[in-house]
Amino acid sequence: MPRLSVNINKIATLRNARGGNIPDVQKAAVNCQRFGAEGITVHPRPDERHIRYQDVRDIKPLIKTEFNIEGYPSQPFIDLVLSVLPDQVTLVPDSPDAITSNQGWDTIAEKEFLYDVIARFRSHGIRTSIFIGTDLRYIEYARMSLTDRIELYTEPYAREFKAGREKAVEPFVKAAVLAGELGMGLNAGHDLNLENLKYFADNIPGLLEVSIGHALISDALYYGLENSIQMYLRQLE
């Protein structure tokens, strides 16, 4: 059964809109674990418009399951990760002004850069994952970076799901098979929700973890946080 890592960025977005500490991001992280989440994901960006660097430092001691930090590997981000030592770091190619992650790495053009960054994290015992699309060439080159895992960027699947789920999932199945053949673990995330998650999880071989934030936190407005986490876990059974 794939693990569910809950991305709590949107809770920080709500807090930052008003100032102060309501809602409490640390309490949300603790509650997500208590309600069944098997991991907590945060994605600090340079402008700190949602999760702040200090949030990452404050949350780390509270995590009893798995802590995953996502982000573009700028020097401040690398320094943060090495000071916090999460269980996993997920590298994304976001530009500073990106609203959300909207593409995977070009692992051919960025081969040497990724190799050097991943080597630093691996030397500190941190599992690494590269955010990537379904282009099989990029997955092959991801292996050359010595990353432990890749995280498939699933927005194209979510976008095409209603028009035809078999066609939508097909490139992800091929990508998953290749990742397994190359010895890399497989994560997935972006726009997975209660409508499309089960079909994805049922059809992707070797899927280890999904990271879900926006949809799950939005569903929590209707169903409550605990119930929403349990609903997502049931989709992964």
Tokens of 193: 């929700």
Of 43, 66, 151, 209, the active-site residue reads: 43
pLDDT digits (tens, 9 = 90+) for 49-75: 999 999 999 999 999 999 999 999 999
Of 38, 66, 70, 209, the active-site residue reads: 70
Of 38, 66, 190, 209, the active-site residue reads: 190
Predicted pLDDT of residue 97 = 59
Query: Does the pLDDT value for residue 221 go beyond 60?
Result: yes
pLDDT digits (tens, 9 = 90+) for 164-179: 999 999 999 999 999 9
Which residues is 4 bridged to in the sheet?
A: 210
Angle at which helices 165-181 and 136-144 cross, to 10°: 30
Structural domains in the chain? 3-236 (3.20.20.70)
Sign of the CA dihedral with 16 first, then 19, 23, and 24 last: positive
pLDDT digits (tens, 9 = 90+) for 85-138: 999 999 999 765 555 556 799 999 999 999 999 999 999 999 999 999 999 999
Predicted pLDDT of residue 94 = 77
* Residue owning tokens 């979510």: 158
User: Catalytic: 124?
Assistant: no
Q: Which residues contact 95 (CB under 8 A, 6 or more apart)?
A: 72
User: Catalytic: 66?
Assistant: no
7/97 Cα distance (integer angstroms): 19
Distances (CA, A) of 57 to 53, 62, 79, 84, 175: 7, 10, 12, 6, 34
Q: How many CA atoms lie within 13 A of 189 on its CB side?
A: 32
User: Catalytic: 50?
Assistant: no
117/137 Cα distance (integer angstroms): 20
pTM of the model: 0.94
